[in-house]
C-alpha cells in the first residue's frame, strides 16, 4: 500500500492532485496516480495556463475549433472542459465506490468574475449544466461577491469548491453560506457536495515578510509558524460548526459535511521541509491537494499520523503572539485574497493572449 493510500485508509485524509494537463490523460499517468491513491483533482487558471500555453498537444484541437470559426474564448473553454471530462471519467469509479466521498474534479469560473456575484452565478450554472457530471465541483472564490454566489449555488443543489480562503473570518462566512444554502435547498441534500479550500503556504510567505520587517528576535522566531497555526484553528472551527442542532437537522436530511481542503501546500521557502504543509495538517474529514513534487516528497518520507488537532494551545498562542507584535491576520487574508484573484486573472489573460496569437498564426497559414 502506498503512503497516499495509507493517508486515506489510516488517517481519513484524501490526497488530491493539484494539477491537470492533457499529457497526464493521454500518457496514462493520471490513471496510474489514481491507482496509487490520488482521490481527486483540482485545477485553476494558472494550472491551465501552464498546461496549454506553448504546448503542442492542444494544437490539433485548437486548430479544428478555429477552423469552425469559434471565438478564442469559446475555444479555451472547449479545451479545458475536454480535459475535465476525461478526468471525470477516470475518477467516476472512485466516486461511485466511495459513495460520493471522493472522485471529484474541479473547474473554476473565469477569474475576472471574482467581484461579480451575478456573473459568477451565471457562469457556475453554465459550467455545471454543460458538464453535468455528479463528481464535478465548480470552483467559486471566497471573495465578498463570491459568498452570496456560493450560497445560491448550494441552494440550487449544485456542488461547489470554494477557493481562495485565506482567513478564519472568511472561512466562517463560507461555512455559513453552505449551511444557509442547504437550508434553502429543496432537492436531495445528499447529492450536494462541497469543499472549502483553505490556502496555506502563501500565508507564511506574507506573514514572514511582515515579521522580517518588524525584525525583533520575537518576530523572527515566529517565521514559518503562522500558516500551520491558522489552518489548525480552521480545522477547530470546522469541527465546532459541524455539530449541534443546526447541523444535525441538515445531516438528518442527508447533508454531507463540507470538508476543509488544504490548498497551496507546496513549500515556498526552501528553508522549510518540503512536506511541511502536508505532515502538519493530517486529520479525518480533510483533503490535501498537492502538486506533483509534493506528492513525490510525501510518498518518499511523509508523516502518517493525525497531526491536525495536536498542539492546539500552541497554535492559539502563535496567533496571539502575532497579534501582539502587530501582525494583523485579517489584513494578511485581505492582501492574499487580492493577490490570489489578481494572479489567476493574470494567468488567464496571458493564456488568452497566447491563444489569440496562435489563432492569428493559423489564420495567416491557412
CA atoms of 28 and 119, how far apart (whole Å): 36
Instruction: Region of 243 please: left (phi>0), alpha (psi -120 to 50) or beta.
Output: beta
Q: Quote the cell numbers at residue 267.
A: 513549500
Residue (of 330, 45, 344) closest to 206 by Cα position: 330
**Max Cα–Cα distance, the chain, nearest Å:** 67
User: Which one is catalytic: 139, 225, 232, 358?
Assistant: 139
Residue (of 189, 311, 325, 309) closest to 257 by Cα position: 189
268 is catalytic: no
Instruction: Region of 311 please: left (phi>0), alpha (psi -120 to 50) or beta.
Output: left
**Residue 118 near residue 146, CB atoms below 8 Å:** no
Tell the residue number behind the cell numbers 518540503, with chain if given: 274
- Cα 234 vs. chain centroid, distance in angstroms? 15
Which residues carry out catalysis?
Answer: 139
Amino acid at each position: 500500500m502506498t503512503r497516499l493510500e495509507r493517508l486515506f485508509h489510516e488517517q481519513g485524509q484524501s490526497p488530491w492532485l493539484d494539477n491537470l494537463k492533457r499529457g497526464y490523460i493521454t500518457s496514462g499517468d493520471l490513471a496510474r496516480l489514481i491507482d496509487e491513491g490520488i482521490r481527486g483533482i483540482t485545477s485553476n487558471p494558472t494550472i491551465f495556463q501552464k498546461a496549454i500555453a506553448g504546448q503542442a498537444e492542444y494544437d490539433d484541437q485548437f486548430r479544428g475549433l478555429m477552423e469552425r470559426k469559434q471565438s478564442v474564448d469559446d475555444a479555451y473553454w472547449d479545451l479545458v472542459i475536454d480535459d475535465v471530462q476525461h478526468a471525470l471519467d477516470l475518477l467516476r469509479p472512485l466516486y461511485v465506490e466511495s459513495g460520493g466521498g471522493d472522485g471529484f474534479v474541479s473547474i473554476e469560473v473565469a477569474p475576472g468574475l471574482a467581484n461579480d456575484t451575478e456573473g459568477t452565478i451565471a457562469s457556475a450554472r453554465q459550467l455545471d449544466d454543460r458538464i453535468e457530471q455528479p463528481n464535478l465541483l465548480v470552483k467559486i472564490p471566497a471573495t465578498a461577491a463570491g459568498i452570496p454566489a456560493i450560497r445560491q449555488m448550494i441552494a440550487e443543489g449544485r456542488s461547489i469548491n470554494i477557493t481562495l480562503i485565506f482567513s478564519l473570518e472568511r472561512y466562517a462566512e463560507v461555512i455559513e453560506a453552505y449551511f444557509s444554502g442547504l437550508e434553502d435547498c429543496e432537492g436531495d441534500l445528499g447529492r450536494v457536495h462541497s469543499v472549502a479550500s483553505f490556502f496555506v503556504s502563501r500565508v507564511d510567505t506574507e506573514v514572514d515578510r511582515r515579521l522580517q520587517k518588524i525584525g525583533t528576535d520575537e518576530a523572527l522566531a515566529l517565521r514559518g509558524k503562522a500558516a500551520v497555526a491558522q489552518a489548525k484553528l480552521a480545522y477547530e472551527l470546522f469541527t465546532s460548526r459541524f455539530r449541534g442542532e443546526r447541523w444535525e437537522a441538515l445531516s438528518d436530511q442527508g447533508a454531507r459535511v463540507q470538508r476543509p481542503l488544504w490548498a497551496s501546500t507546496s513549500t515556498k521557502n526552501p528553508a522549510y521541509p518540503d512536506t511541511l504543509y502536508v505532515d502538519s495538517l493530517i486529520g479525518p474529514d480533510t483533503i490535501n491537494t498537492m502538486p506533483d513534487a509534493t506528492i513525490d516528497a510525501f510518498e518518499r518520507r511523509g508523516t502518517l499520523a493525525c497531526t491536525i488537532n495536536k498542539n492546539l494551545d500552541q497554535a492559539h498562542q502563535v496567533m496571539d503572539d502575532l497579534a501582539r507584535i502587530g501582525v494583523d491576520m485579517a489584513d494578511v487574508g485581505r492582501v492574499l485574497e487580492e493577490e490570489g484573484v489578481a494572479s489567476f486573472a493574470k494567468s488567464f489573460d496571458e493564456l488568452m493572449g497566447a491563444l489569440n496569437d496562435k489563432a492569428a498564426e493559423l489564420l495567416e497559414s491557412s
